Chains A and B, each alone.
Chain A
Amino acid sequence: MSPLDRKLLRDLWRMKGQAVAIGLVIAVGTMLLIMMDGLVNMLDETRQAYYQRYRLADVFAPVARAPERLLDDLAHLPGVAAAEGRVVGDALIDVEGADLPVRARAVSLPATGAPRLNDIHLSQGRLLNSEQPDEVLVLESFARAHGLVPGDTISATMNGSRRTFMIVGLAQSPEFLYTTAPGELLPDDARFAVLWLNRAAMAAAYDMKGAFNEALLSIGRGADEKAVLKAVDRLLEAYGGLGAYSLADQFSNRFVSTEIEELGNTSRSVPPLFLGVAAFLLFIVITRMVQAEREQIGLLKAFGYSGAEVSLHYFKFVLVIAIGGAILGSLAGIVAGRAFAVFYQHFFKFPFLVFRLDPGTFVIGFLVSIASASAGGLLVLRRVFSLTPAVAMRPPAPPDYSRTVQFGRVMRRLLDQPSRMVLRRIMRQPVRMIGAVVGIAAGMALSVATSALMVAFTQMLDVTFTVIDRSDAAVAFVAPMSDRTVHELRRMEGVIAAEPFRIVPVVLRNGLNSYRGSINGFVEEPVLNRALDKDARPIFMRKDGIILSEPLADILEVSAGEVITVEVREGRRPVLQIPVVEIAQSLLGSPTYMEIGALNRALREPGRISGAFLRVDAAFRKEVYRKLKDMPAVAGISEKEVTRESLVRQVNTGAGATRYVMAAIAAIITFGIIYNSARIAFAERARDLASLRVIGFSKGEAAYILLGELALVTLVALPIGAGLGYYLSFALSAAYSTDLYQVPAVFAPQSYGSAMVAVLSAAVVSGLLVKRELDRMELVSALKTRE
């Protein structure tokens, strides 16, 4: 080992505290990058593998009733690789202990063998015995939510008749990762069930002997999906085809894909921010470090080492810390990524997880962290090159303060010498001070933005359930009913108010762009459940056309005044041309609105409603729900409290959960920046401070000069950081907004307050830590160090 390398090791050991601190900042940035990237990869791979292993269909084609033989024709369509027919139907399940009946989807399984498409994963119990029509498999997440196990029985109402089934097994399926009852915004394991029955039992229950009402298709590699959809629609037209749609439009898949995509967005937008801050911090630290070593650099050169050799020596120092940080960060990233993946595995209900380490992620993580560390190092190395050996031979020249201000008479009276020292130092090295200010401001900005994000999530929930939804429950009917039903509801004892709504499943098209969703028909000035724009002002329903939410208008590339095509997916399935009259910025979801009467007129179904929002007297609540549950026309009732809980669960366990990690990391980085600033200032001034102590300054008085600088820099940084944080919070809100919920960019005074408290506490703790070092400083040895 060369003497220079030995020096390197000893220097590292000597500066181990600082080296570890810098290494940790790099490690945190790398960890975040690798964790997020690895997590997204893992989830994406797992989803793909799950879909492949259980042969999830590429195309879903619901139809009123098509004969079995049609499957052959479907299988022979160009581009189609396999076709499978099945019987599906809606059901209502009575669950013990629940006030409300639970909506369910019943799905047939073939009598023998596994289905060609949309296979299931049996997680407990056994498969169905084809001889036993009363056996049923239940979606595992639903069973768990209600404590159902194989051997239990459940009773279900199918097509108007009530039957009792015996649960023989619990199953999972890539088709039902995310389940939600029709018309509901949020998934909830407890409130929607999937049942798998023998084909014969399903055929009997839904009158589908020798027929199917849903075709599943897989398409070959390179086949034109749009052409296949068109061909399928044409073939099923005569049998009441309800419009084939691709996997991309399938509810569960769309939801899971969006969530993974959101995670991906977060992973692309947030870690670079952290790494940028870390890189900046490193630059400051390494600059100062090399400056402090300049005598040794001069000495080495005096011995005959070349500029390049000395530069390499210092660059190695940077590299060792950067690589150390990158390795630590990578390992932590893998561990954290896996832990998070397991967390998300439960969230997405994957039966297994594909752990795959993408070498690319490491290469990127390593390169980014080393590049950010080196960026600081390289700039500094220029100085190493330009230093002359003579520097080492001279006693240290005091830094020149002659170009800073002489204080006038007034200032002299106001400022004591220690305060002048603080001020002059700040004025003499404005660039360095600006660096420290920007560093702390960046920490403040991160804290403001992450804290504003927390407020935004809370606000979103509050607005959703106090301003938007002011009802107590929503009742949905099996099929559209007469609007007279509203009057009946109002007459029920305990019902204070009822407001009808109509929800119509549609495909919206504008040119080549399309969106599968639904139109919400509300009364002109809704009271119980209002549509709000992003400033929380109510959106009034329009009779002259449709109101689109902004993200939807973007997807369809349409603006107010244009006419879009609306393909209705229920009833007589008319295709309508409706003008877009307004683009609204919705707070929740990507909805479409229309006045209920106008919507019904357009459908030529006057006076029909899909359900109603209710306000119910708390004293009568149980009674009202029980009565509603007994009405055969009622498909389901969603209580607001339950919905609220599921949204809270959603934002706390989904992509939104990473906000806590972000906040934690923002706090770590903020502290890192401030602590490092204080440490560096201390290292630079140790000699001056020791001199002051020797002269007779007390520990507190000496600390004032050191900490006064930190305090001043921090105070200047706070308003700047608050300003940066304001803009950063927009970026974060956008990164966290999903198809399902928009996170508003809020100006929340409390987030500035809490960020300020965080930064100030970090400053105080850093100050105390450094002061402790100052107190322990050996006066004699500090004086002997020349600088």
Chain B
Amino acid sequence: MPKGDVPQMTPAFHTRGLTKVYGEGAAAVHALRGVNLEIPEGEIVVLLGPSGSGKSTLLNILGGLDSATGGTAWFRDMELTAMSDTELTRFRRDHVGFVFQFYNLMPSLTAFENVELVTEIAQNPLSAQEALELVDLHERVDHFPAQLSGGEQQRVAIARAVAKQPTVLFCDEPTGALDSTTGRSVLKVLKEVNDKLGTTVLIITHAAATAAMAHRVINFADGNIRDVVVNETRLDPEEIHW
């Protein structure tokens, strides 16, 4: 697996003229206006931008959750925009991990079982135990989500997302519902996943400070990419403040 510091020749994702329009006619909202993008494999990429700039839409399309209106999007040599619903499910199952702002854990399963939920269906998973250790959760694994703090819930969510050893990890505002200390510990986990497993990590965030830990920062505005900044030096999550 390639290490984060070495840029790859073939990108994990690339898009050509990607558009997404919600609604029709006068009410139409152009969420994406012809996005051309390349995301190298093994990087931490932060997508920054104001609400409605199109970053979540892009993430949803790349994650196989939504379809594009026009243009093409590729994961390695697979054209996402040409895939059927079943193929997209397959893609998510084999390659993608998701981390959400509100964790989206199954309330009726314990922390351990929530991770097992994924290890049961994945092809080459970590054990649930390993995944939980990776996020530094050792003791409270037999607790239900209602008994865990927000930070703990998010770490379980990350463990669940990485347990399948995904190629990419999508994080939509992973620290949005957390205080800064807890948020930092979550970012630390994401960095570790990237370091140890070589997983490509895409993070959407409002917190511009998060950008400092990324290899690459993509600034979104008005449905398109305003600029892409490659960080020469990266900060450790411990050093980030917001």
Contact = CB atoms under 8 A, between A and B. Distances in A.
Q: Do A and B bind each other?
A: yes
A221 interface: no
Interface in A351-401: 395-401
Interface of A (DSSP majority class): helix
Nearest to A425: B108
A5 to B, nearest CB: 26
B121 A399 contact: no
A701 interface: yes
Interface in A648-707: 687-688, 691-699, 701
Contacts of A397: 146
A695 B147 contact: no
A402 B106 contact: no
Contacts of B118: 695-696
A232 to B, nearest CB: 81
Interface in B175-197: 177
B108 A404 contact: yes
Interface stretch (B42-50, B94-102, B230-238): B94-102
Contacts of B60: 780
Interface stretch (B137-145, B201-209, B221-229): B137-145
Contact of A688 (B106, B144, B160): B106
Contacts of A697: 89, 93, 121
Nearest to B63: A694
A302 interface: no
B109 to A, nearest CB: 6
Given A395-B177, A786-B102, A696 B107 contact: no
B62 to A, nearest CB: 12
Interface stretch (A414-422, A461-469, A752-760): A414-422
A406 B89 contact: no
Given A417-B109, A696-B94, A699-B89, A400 B146 contact: yes
A696 B121 CA distance: 8
B21 interface: no
B159 to A, nearest CB: 12
Given A699-B89, A780-B60, A694 B117 contact: no
A516 interface: no
A162 B129 CA distance: 106
A461 B112 CA distance: 64
Given A398-B107, A780-B60, A696 B96 contact: yes
Contacts of B30: none
A696 B146 contact: no
A402 B143 contact: yes
A780 B66 contact: yes
Interface size class of A (residues with CB under 8 A): 35 or more
A421 B102 contact: no
A428 B86 contact: no
A695 B66 contact: no
Interface residues of B, number: 42
Contacts of B117: 417-418, 692, 695
A418 B85 CA distance: 21
A406 B116 CA distance: 15
A417 B116 contact: yes
B120 A779 contact: no
A783 interface: yes
Contact of B89 (A396, A404, A698): A698
Contacts of B90: 696
Contact of A420 (B113, B121, B122): B113
A687 B146 contact: no
A424 interface: yes
Given A395-B102, A396-B102, A417-B113, A694 B65 contact: yes
Nearest to A690: B104
A780 B116 contact: no
Which of A397, A695, A699, A778 is the most central at the interface, judged by chain B CB atoms within 10 Å of its CB?
Answer: A695
B53 interface: no
A511 B228 CA distance: 108
A491 B64 CA distance: 93
A401 B106 CA distance: 10
A398 B110 contact: no
A704 to B, nearest CB: 12
A396 B150 CA distance: 11
Contacts of A693: 89
B66 A406 contact: no
Choose among A424, A425, A692, A694 the residue with the greatest number of B CB atoms under 10 Å from its CB.
A694
Contacts of A417: 106, 109, 113-114, 116-117, 120
A84 to B, nearest CB: 82
Given A406-B142, A701-B121, A779-B66, A424 B108 contact: yes
A45 B147 CA distance: 68
A698 B107 CA distance: 20
Contacts of A418: 117
Given A399-B107, A425-B108, 9 more contacts: A398-B145, A400-B107, A401-B144, A417-B120, A424-B109, A698-B89, A699-B89, A780-B65, A780-B66
Interface of A: 395-402, 404, 406, 416-418, 420-421, 424-425, 428, 687-688, 691-699, 701, 778-780, 783, 786
7 contacts: A395-B102, A400-B146, A417-B117, A688-B107, A691-B104, A696-B92, A699-B85
Interface of B: 60, 63, 65-66, 85-86, 89-90, 92-94, 96, 98, 100, 102, 104-110, 113-114, 116-118, 120-122, 142-147, 150, 153, 160-161, 164, 177
